[in-house]
Amino acid sequence: MCLAKPLRVGLLVTALVTALFPSDAAAKSTPRQRMHNRLLLAKAKAKRPPSTLVIRGNSAAKAALRTQNRALLQRHPEWFAMPLLAGDLHLQPVIEKAIRRLQAQLGKPYVWGGETPEEGFDCSGLIFYAFNPLLAAKLPRTANEMYHYRQALDVADNDLRRGDLLFFGIHSHDKADHVGVYLGNNRFIESPRTGEQIRISDLSDAFWQARFLGGKRILLNSTVRIPG
């Protein structure tokens, strides 16, 4: 049976009014319903596993990003430098004392075999002079002997910290024949070669990067002299 057009229009209007203006009973239930929905949503979020960072883009874009990050790491290893652990905090004054002894020699001449402020220093003689008064056992004298010193700790390039020894193979990649001390921010102090003076150099320089053998840490709880 077909309803007359006016009756159909009236029913539609009634339905629209009911939807826009619900009855008092329905209106009173709305806040409770909203609260119920919020509880359901909170429970669903609690069950959801934690999200992980996703790098979006194709494989070429991701590879480019990794290359960029590696370049930043090489230029700024101090951004990722290993901090002193809580148990090593007492080493900080020892490290700074060694650095002060080194910096006091800036501008003095390179002298092969030298290991005193009066005569000058070669590369390992400078470290021998600055570090030995702070160590329980003396360092060996030459750069290659220091490089193979068993009490020293190998340090990854991105873990270098102030006071670490840096070793280079200038004339051979099989032997450490030069050593300096890391100061932070890609800088290190060194006694370079005959005719030069003790100076601060840039580890990120291509010359040093091509000859860098690695870092060693000698100022450790197990090696420093215990004050008597």
| SS3 of 138-201 | CCCCCHHHHHCCCCCEEECHHHCCCCCEEEECCCCCCCCCEEEEEEECCEEEECCCCCCECEEE
In this structure, the number of other CB atoms found within 10 A of the CB of residue 119 comes to 12
Rounded Cα gap, residues 172 and 64, in angstroms? 33
Catalytic residue among 36, 123, 171, 173: 123
Neighbours of 179 (CB within 10 A): 26
d(CA 121, CA 104): 12
Residue 144 and residue 167: Cα distance in Å, rounded? 8
Give, as one character, the DSSP assignment of residue 76.
-
**Contact indicator for 214, 167 with CB cutoff of 8 Å:** yes
Active site residue 2: no
- Can you tell me the distance from the alpha carbon of 2 to that of 200, in angstroms, rounded to the nearest whole number? 99
The answer to whether 36 is a known catalytic residue is no
* Residue 148 annotated to the active site: no
Residues taking part in catalysis: 123, 178, 190
